[in-house]
Each structure stands twice: as structure tokens, then as C-alpha cells.
Amino acid sequence: MPHTPADPSLIDSRVAVRRLLTTLALVTLGNSGMYVVAVVLPAVQAEFGVGRADASLPYTLMMVCLGIGGLFTGKLADRHGITPVLRVGAVAVAGGFIWAANSGSIWTFGLAHGLLLGMLGSSSTFAPLLADTALWWNKRRGMAVAIAASGNYVAGTVWPPLVQWGIESIGWRQTYVILGVVCGVGIFLLANLMRQRPPLVVTAPVSAGEVVPDTSRPFGLSPNHAMALLCVAGVGCCVAMSMPQVHIVAYCTDLGYGAARGAEMLSLMLFCGIASRLISGWICDRIGGIRTLLLGSALQCVALLLFIPFDGLVSLYLIAALFGLFQGGIVPSYAIIVREYFPPKEAGARVGAVIMATLVGMALGGWMSGWVYDLTGSYDAAFLNGIAFNLLNMSIALWLYFRVRRIGRAGLAGSPAA
């Protein structure tokens, strides 16, 4: 079925608002597997008789495949529109949960999460939707993308307690089947509301006096050079970001506070991440994507530094909340940067590439922090490793920021008014 022709007057309109709410629901449904796999881990480990490392394999496979899948789903969305991509994602999410529910070993369980839930399912309902949202907004673009990205954390808030209740009531296999049907059907139905082509792909109206970056030379660099820098920055920030998210429970256990306290801190961190994304979106609308990235990176580095000298129970709760507030807006800022400095018709593929880099950083950081801990016997060195990668992200963001300023000054100096 052909897409409805794009109408430039729909930018910042009520149609865009309805589409944003639909996107929030799609992200919440499509990213369910990312969080429930941790909930079923103890039951799966016990049923299949495997160790903790093998039981963690499905999560690792899902994160890696989710990043790879974002490259392809983003390109498909650029070429064919978001609706066909979402329909494929709906089938993949339903099929992935049902396949996992009927798996007979940890390997088939892991493949279901990696190939279907990750590479085709969640990847269809995150990066392409962030890119699509950025094309529907001008005045409140940062806030819109932040709301869309918040669906990821909403999924982390909503689905785990429901799945835990299902495990205790009817078992993890039956719970997975029901979850697959609900999420798959929900995504497929909501995809029908997304057939309108993004208006900014056709035309991007410019206000009088607005400075438009040269999208053929983002930051004054070749597109591939600029993308490579953004991807390295994405790896750096998320290696740092994953350290507390993946290891806070183990860290609290080592300190003698127990795993339950660590789980509470993780929930607090993710809950504060929702507020962080909304606040960062508001900030982004006022200072732009690259400045928002730099601010978020600097604040995340401060929070990581606080983990080293303060290890009391109350202080850890406070630092976990601060970390959630500081880091939540970093990943959505990449979608804004791509929208601001690259051609709109390439948004899906470009955002997919950067999101892939951030997911690689998350997967690498979780493993690397454990490796550093095994080498040193302390999480202090693991925090310092995260800070080093955070500084890499900050240095790239700062360099790009100064390039933007220099290019802006040169443009003003060469303008007719000057």
C-alpha cells in the first residue's frame, strides 16, 4: 500500500503529536525483550542446568544483534518507510518470544533473543523510530526524540514486574508466549498509524535568519569521517554508562549490602533515566545536540567519579539517582546531531549506525568491567576504566563543538551583513 504523500505543514502539528505518542507505545512494546530476559534468567538457568555465564548469553547476543540490526532496519526505513519495517519487527518480536518459550536448550533460547528479538524485533522499534521522530519536529525536536527514546526505559519499568508475576503464576514459558502475542499484535496494529511519510524528507522549511549547517560536510568533515567520530564517541560513552548499570548489583553484594539493595538502585537509576531524557530533550531544544552531548558526558563523568570515594548505602542510592539523571539524555542526543548535521534522507541509516556503536559500547563495557574486576579484585579500577572511556567521549564531543563554533564564526565573517 503506498504511503500517504508528505505534507510540510504537518511539522510540529497535532498529527506529529499523535505520531509521537504512537512511537512511544511502539518503543515500549518492541524493547520488552531487552529487560525481561534478565527477569527470567534464574528460572532459565535452573531449568537448563547451566552456569551464570551461559545463562547471561541471551542478553549479550540480543544487545550485539540489536546493534547490527539497527544498521539494516534504518536503511530500510529510509528507502521504504517505517511501516514495513515495523511490521517485520512485529512478526519478529512475536516469533522470538514464542521460539524462546519452546526452546530446549540455552543455545536455542539465546538464538531466539539474538536473531529475532534483537536483530529484527527491537532494532525495528528503536533507531528507525528515533530517526523518524526527528524528521517530524523543528521547534521541539529535542523533546520529541527524548519522549520517543523514553519508551526504552518505560519498557524497563513496566515489563519486569509483570513478567515476574507471570513466572510465579503460570511459569516463564507461558508468560513468554503471552508476552509475544501481546507485543507482536500491538506493534503490528500500531504500525498502521505510521504510514504518513515524514514531511522533512520532502522539504525542510527554514525560518528567516536560521543558520543551516552544510549537510554535505558535517562539522566541516567528510560524512564518513564525521560518522566514524560519532560512532567512537558512542562506544566511549556507553562503555562508561554500562559499568554501573551492569555491575551495581554485584558491587552492592561485595560491599555487604545484598543483591536486593543493588536491584533497588538499578531500578532507581532507570526511573531517573526517564526524567533525564525529558530534561535533556528540553535542554537540547535550546542549545542543540552537540552541546547536550557534551553536557551529558561531563555530568556522567562526575557521577562515575563519585562512586569511587563514596560507598555508603545512602550515598550509593543518591549517586545511583544522580547517574540516572545525568546519563539518560546522552544516547538520544546522537539522533539530534544526525538530524542537525546530516541529510534528512539518510537519517535512519545514520542513527542506526550510531545506536549500533552505543550498544557495542554497552556490551563491551559490561564485559570489560568484569574483566578489570577479575584482574584487580576491586571495582575501583573498573570505575576508573569507565571514566577513561568517558573522557574519550568528552574529547570527541568537545572537538566537534569547537569545530562548529569555528565554522559558525567563519560563516558570519563571510556573510553579506558582516
Q: Decide if pLDDT at 3 tops 50.
A: no
- pLDDT at position 299 is 95
Give the span between the Cα atoms of 389 and 235, in whole angstroms: 8
Grid cell, residue 172, equals 516463564
Q: How far is CA 177 from CA 103, 160, 250, in A?
A: 12, 15, 31
Q: Decide if pLDDT at 334 tops 80.
A: yes
Asked whether the domain spanning 214-407 has the same topology as the one spanning 10-203, the reply is yes
- Higher-confidence position of 110 and 60: 110
Closest of 334, 321, 336 to residue 274, by C-alpha: 321
Q: Decide if pLDDT at 200 tops 70.
A: no
Q: Decide if pLDDT at 293 tops 60.
A: yes
Give the span between the Cα atoms of 212 and 389, in whole angstroms: 32
Give the span between the Cα atoms of 131 and 356, in whole angstroms: 13
Domain residue spans of the chain: 10-203, 214-407
The tens digit of pLDDT for each residue in 361-415 reads: 887 887 788 888 888 888 899 899 999 999 999 999 999 999 988 887 766 555 4
- pLDDT at position 1 is 42
Torsion sign over Cα 348, 349, 350, 352: positive
Q: Decide if pLDDT at 294 tops 90.
A: yes
Name the CATH superfamily housing domain 214-407: MFS general substrate transporter like domains (1.20.1250.20)
Q: Decide if pLDDT at 43 tops 90.
A: no
Out of 100-114, 245-259, 267-281, least confident range = 245-259
209, with CB counted inside 10 A (0-12, 13-18, 19+), is: exposed
The top-scoring range by mean pLDDT among 95-99, 221-225, 257-261 is: 95-99
The top-scoring range by mean pLDDT among 131-145, 153-167, 193-207, 285-299 is: 285-299
The tens digit of pLDDT for each residue in 117-171 reads: 999 999 999 889 988 998 898 888 888 988 998 888 888 778 888 888 888 899 9
Q: What is the mean pLDDT of residues 260-281?
A: 84
Class of domain 10-203: mainly alpha
Give the span between the Cα atoms of 60 and 212, in whole angstroms: 40
For the entire predicted model, the pTM comes to 0.77
